[in-house]
Structure 1
Amino acid sequence: MASSPHTSSSLALYRRLLGYLRSDWKIFCVSLVAMSIAAATEPAFARLMKPLVDAIFVDKSQMALLFAPLALVALFLLRGLASFVNDYTTSWLSGKLVMRMREAMFSKLMRLPVHYYDDHPTGRTLSRITNDVNQVTEAGFSVITVVVKDGITVVGLFGLLLYTDWRLTLICIAVMPLVTLCIRIVSKRLRGLSRENQQHMGKLTQVLGETIDGQRVVKVYGGEQREGSRFTQVANSLRRNNIKQNSMSSLNTGVTQLFIACAIALILYFAGLRAQHNAFTAGDFMSFLTAMSLLFPPMKRITSISQALQRGLAAAESVFELLDAEEEPNRGTKRLDQPRGRLSFQDVGFHYPAGERLALNGVSLDIAAGETVALVGASGSGKSTMASLLPRFYEPSEGQICLDGVPLPEIELASLRAHIALVSQEVVLFNDTVAANIAYGRLGDVSRDEVIAAARAANALEFIESLPDGFETLIGEKGTKLSGGQRQRIAIARALLKNAPILILDEATSALDTQSERLVQGALDRLMQNRTTLVIAHRLSTIENADRIVVMSQGRIVEVGTHAQLLAQEGTYAHLYRLQFAEKDTV
């Protein structure tokens, strides 16, 4: 996948990352100052070696004997305080960065179109928010700490070495181009491996999620070995990728350290020669030797930071790819106060990106306010697609849909959806209380009396009151503690509380037993009163009383009429009806 312009440059990524901390620039400055002070103490310590050795051990100065140890203690006290301030502010800022990026990503998820979720595996999306954002902090702060703090340390120590003996220091400087070249070669490879690692992590999350969600199916069909094999394959790919990353990083560090070790060996040799000719004092040699020994760890960290940098930048690319994804089109400006609910499909066509043919082809249908229209037909005939176009989960490829004469794209998206309620076969409930799930139908201040009234109208009050904690009972993830019929009635109560003028019922009773269906159907009858209702039904017996029945086939409307009219026509609907009841009789 080609990188977008904003992700092609590491500098641009950094600039964008730091933009999330623009309001915290004062704390960031404090962190940099503390970092710089802590870094400056290392060359200061090396410089302190010269007077300490020359004055105390060579000149036998009593004054130096008194003040040099105090200066040493003061220096490390300053370093400890600066390091604490740096670590605290860096941790605070990195936590803020992660939190704000996660908030931005979650907010983005709420604005992404439905087709984004169709095209992107859930596991990869979850991995971006849980895993990739954490790795971004490595590019944001771990690297900054090393580059700034160790960079200042290295520059200060090099300055001290130059001041002490510039000829010997030139040997160190000569090694730097070789180190830089090594880092550039390895960095490119590490960035690619980091991208692969994110893909593997997304697949791992996906396999885990699918196995956990479908654990009953796995057990019944004996799929444990197959799922175990899938997991092992992905985990092994992740393991191999980590080995490659660590190997490349280790190779980079080892080669760089070899160059530095050769430079240090030469320096030690020539320093020894100069000391033999009295060109060095004992203090100079100790200061130079201390600076050299202190130079090695920050140089090692700087050369080792490439892996964290590339992993973090690759994660930042992944995060910003999500943040830059195209959102749902919401250019409408009209807000609906109390729509009547008159709908009009005008020569509507729709094509799924991966579909071989049009899911809807020239569909025209007018639905009066308060009318109940049922959509029937074989799977793939376009019923659910028509229902998905109403709340603008998808946009028509051609034609338009109007609400009270206003084209849907001209209506502000939140205003449109505020007037639509949905009850589907796959009920979505949250791991919260019964009351909270019902009140979700109308976010804001909802009284307990309103929740109880909605539950009563949905034929749910009796079973809710029998639960251990009544309305305060936690229903579990996806409502697993409730039966299918109970979940449906909670969803109906939620829709009743919303009191929207337009209602979509998508196979709302198809998976229920006879007793549950009777309770749910009674609740649905109350829900549909005085509402424009679009019913997608598999069981034709549930839509016999609809005002009109629309029969669909291969994306087109082939018949329209009442139940009696369509039976009298002896067409597609009559054939489906007889076929369904013939199957029922044979059961």
Structure 2
Amino acid sequence: MSVSRHWPVACRGSPGVRSGRSWLPPPAWPSSCYAVISACSERLRRSFVLYKRVLRYLRPYWKVFLVSLLSMSIAAATEPAFARLMKPLIDGGFVNKDGSSLIWAPLAIVGLFLVRGLTSYVNEYATSWLTGHLVQSLREEMFAKLVRLPVHYYDDNPSGRLLSRIAFDVNQVTEAGFNVITVTVKDGITILGLLGLLFYTDWQLTLICLAVLPIVSLCVRLVSKRLRGLSLQNQQNMAQLTQVLGETIDCQRVVKVYGGEEYEARRFHRHAEAIRHNAVKQSATSSANTGVTQLIIACALAAILYFAALRAQSGSFTAGDFMSFLTAMLMLFAPVKRITSISQSLQKGLAAAESVFGFLDENGEPDHGTHRLENTRGGLQFDGLQFTYPHAERASLYDINFTVNPGETVALVGSSGSGKTTLVSLIPRFYEPTAGRILLDGRPLTDLTLGSLRRHIAMVSQDVVLFNDSVAANIAYGRIGEVSRDEIIAAARAANALEFIEAMPQGFDTVIGENGVRLSGGQRQRLAIARALLKNAPILILDEATSALDTQSERLVQSALENLMKDRTTLVIAHRLSTIEHADRIVVMHQGRIAEVGNHHELIAHDGLYANLHRLQFKEPSWVTA
């Protein structure tokens, strides 16, 4: 029977090796082998690219980096020098009874450790300085990216993950940044120096030490992949934990009222447990790697001690040689352990770097406009406008066509989900239309730069956003340093906010707490109106600005809004129809389309959707009629 019959069909007929009278074709590599090799090479390439990108942030500080490398190199060189001093100390001072060796050798050791202490201090200081700058640079770049991300990115990503990336992942990047370099350079020089001393003392015994290196490398390689996956999982767990914390803090009143304490505690426990479990896995993996490595080195040490004793008996190995060799070999343990454990820090850092740079590579808001808008009359034209949210099943706006004249007040009414808020969100270009366009004074919004467009728009919404700062800083937000105190006071007076501001402990310098928690709803709303007044933008968007207020607060806010709306192009979204009866025009929306357009009296006479909404809101209860 031919031997070739035992080969797979795919391998027959291929070039092979002659064996006797038959040609034996070589077995083809399985496709899985190529896949594994390809995956490994791709992983190495990505790791190299990430690491190179991290080091790019240290380039401006290359002088400090050079000082750090020099100091750590000197500190590392003192370890083999100390081991070398053991030979003259033992042979000269103890074996040969040389008194001078007992004097200069200890003094040399003291001087050696003095140099080591000074260089280690310089190295630690420089390392800390560089690490701090690396973290600061990354955080500032990430924050700059954060404020320029499009609105839909915030819609798709939980805030906890964003916070975790900036607060947690950046710190992990330093593990792949300078810390790995420090360990690699310092311990690498130490290992090379000690190995050089070992070869110089006895090369044959040193070969036993080198025999264990391939085994140690294999252990490190197996552990690295496991640690990389655990680090990525830990980042996700931290993001989820941060999300639970943020939601619980923001919604603490809802949690209390609805008795959600135990539910939130269970959610927190679940994510905290996942983080703890992941940390145990990482520690166990790293510890197992370290333990196996130390066991291998201990076996090599036992063999070395045995052969060194045999050499000493033959007289070719002095007591000083043995002490110097043993000291160098024992000192080799710590740097080898750190070098083998560096893969854990490297994998954590690379996983964090992948997260950080993935965030930095996100596309910011599209801003292809070239025209810088200096002044505007405020005329808006909606031309065939359509919009669909990402991943939505149907469009939110269909074929919107109408014009807002400069200085005109146009109200948008309709049931919830009819597209009112979506429509006004397209004006400051929080989203880009799916089809159609919006024109400002006859020029498409896409031709304008984002910054110049938004400088001419002010917004007041139902959900007022305030900052944990003083009253004056909140009113002058965006223009701090550009406006005087008198202008801030004038804006507060026009917004009917001056009375309650002056009643505060520090007046305009009173810190109002997170999102104005120390203020009532009406007071927060009036501060937002004062902020819009101070901006003095020609286009004003009011989104349910009075819907959540009591009657007295609504009167004050409505009066402030009337001051704000003077001589401005205003779009008002309102559910309370009483607040928009005097609008120049009312646009009634239904399921993303314009159903009716007209003023209050025209729409009531038309007896359509608006008239129906009006009857529902102002229908008298049966007990009043009775």
TM bucket (normalised to shorter chain) is: over 0.9
Partner of 1:79: 116
Matches of 2:44 and 2:517, distance apart in 1: 42
5 Å matches for 1:436-585?
Answer: 436-582=473-619
Asked if the contact 2:496/2:557 (under 8 Å) is kept, the reply is yes
2:104 aligned partner, one-letter code: F
* Shift, 1:250, TM fit: 1.0
Residue 222 (structure 1) aligns with: 259
Q: 1:533 to 1:86 in 2, by over 3 A?
A: same
Alignment match of 1:384 (pick from 417, 421, 424): 421
1:250 corresponding residue in structure 2 = 287
Which secondary structure does the structure 2 equivalent of 1:440 belong to?
A: coil
Provide, for residues 49-76 of structure 1, a one-character-per-residue CA deviation record: whole Å limited to 9, x for no partner: 1112112112222332221111111111
1 CA distance for matches of 2:45 and 2:232? 14
| Superposed displacement of residue 7, structure 1 | 9.9
**Structure 2 letter corresponding to 1:393:** F
TM-score for the superposition, normalised by structure 1: 0.97
Structure-to-structure mapping, 1:73-472, within 5 angstroms? 73-472=110-509
Secondary structure of residue in 2 paired with 1:375: strand
SS in 2 for 1:87: helix
Give 1:183 shift.
Answer: 0.7
Report if the CA contact (8 A) 1:454-1:496 is conserved.
yes
2: CA distance between counterparts of 1:416 and 1:442?
16
- CA distance in structure 2 between the partners assigned to 1:189 and 1:365 by the alignment: 60
The aligned amino acid for 2:613 is: L
Structure 1 residue 54 and structure 2 residue 76: aligned?
Answer: no
Preserved CA contact (<8 Å) 1:373 1:550: yes
Distance 1:310 1:118 in 2: 31
Whole-angstrom CA distance in 2 between matches of 1:282 and 1:65? 16
Deviations 1:23-56 (A, max 9, x none): 1100000001101111111011111111121121
- In the superposition, the TM-score normalised over structure 2's length comes to 0.91
With 224-233 and 54-63 compared, the bigger mean Cα shift is at: 54-63
Distance 1:346 1:89, change over 3 A: same
CA shift for structure 1 position 298: 0.8
Indicate if the aligned counterparts of 1:350 and 1:396 stay in contact, CA closer than 8 A: yes
CA RMSD of aligned residues (A): 1.6
CA–CA distance in 2 between the matches of 1:446 and 1:582?
A: 48
Query: SS in structure 1 opposite 2:619?
Result: helix
Q: Does 1:16 align with 2:61?
A: no
- Which secondary structure does the structure 2 equivalent of 1:60 belong to? coil
Sequence identity (%): 70
Q: Secondary structure at the match of 2:212?
A: helix
TM superposition shift of 1:93: 0.4
Residues in 2 aligned to 1:401 and 1:444: alpha-carbon distance in whole angstroms: 33
Using the TM superposition, give the Cα deviation of residue 9 of structure 1 relative to its aligned residue in structure 2, in angstroms: 1.9
**Pair 1:197–1:378, CA change in 2 (3 A):** same
Tell me which residue corresponds to 2:74. Answer: 37
State the Cα deviation string for residues 410-429 of structure 1 (Å, max 9, x = none): 11111000000010101010
Give, in whole Å, the separation in 2 of the partners of 1:221 and 1:8: 52
Q: How many Å separate the matches in 2 of 1:512 and 1:441?
A: 26
Superposition deviation, residue 583 in structure 1: 7.5
Report the CA distance between 1:453 and its aligned residue: 0.4
Contact 2:473 2:480 in 1 (8 A): no
1:16 Cα deviation after fit: 1.0
Q: Distance in 2 between matches of 1:354 and 1:586?
A: 48
SS at match of 2:71: helix
Q: Kindly provide the CA deviation profile for residues 211-233 of structure 1, in whole angstroms up to 9, marking residues without a partner as x.
A: 11111111111111111111111
Q: Secondary structure at the match of 1:111?
A: coil
Mark the CA change 1:411 to 1:452 in structure 2 (over 3 Å): closer, same or farther: same
Moved >3 Å (runs of 4+): 5-8, 583-587
Q: Is this contact kept in 2: 1:504–1:535, CA < 8 A? A: yes
Cα distance in structure 2, aligned partners of 1:367 and 1:68 = 93
Unaligned segments of structure 1, at least 5 residues: none
Shift of 1:460: 0.5
Give the structure 2 partner of residue 28 of structure 1. Answer: 65
CA distance in structure 2 between the partners assigned to 1:6 and 1:324 by the alignment: 19
Tell me the amino acid that sits aligned with residue 481 of structure 2: G
CA distance in 1, matches of 2:211, 2:444: 71
Q: Could you say what secondary structure the match of 1:33 adopts? A: helix
Taking structure 1 as reference, are residues 530 and 220 closer, same or farther at Cα in structure 2, changes over 3 Å only? same
Report if aligned partners of 1:546, 1:562 keep a CA contact under 8 Å in 2: yes
Does structure 2 retain, via aligned residues, the 8 Å contact 1:124–1:205? Answer: yes
Q: Which runs of 5+ in 2 are unaligned?
A: 1-38
CA distance in structure 1 between the partners assigned to 2:525 and 2:225 by the alignment: 54
Aligned residues: 585
CA distance in 1, matches of 2:508, 2:622: 41
8 A Cα contact 1:441 1:494, kept in partner: no
Larger Rg: 2
Q: Aligned equivalents of 1:335 and 1:255: distance in 2?
A: 66
Instruction: Specify whether residues 22 and 34 from structure 1 end up closer, same or farther in structure 2 by C-alpha distance, changes over 3 A only.
Output: same
* Aligned CA distance change for structure 1 residues 537 and 95 (closer, same or farther; 3 Å): same
Equivalent position amino acid for 1:574 in 2: A
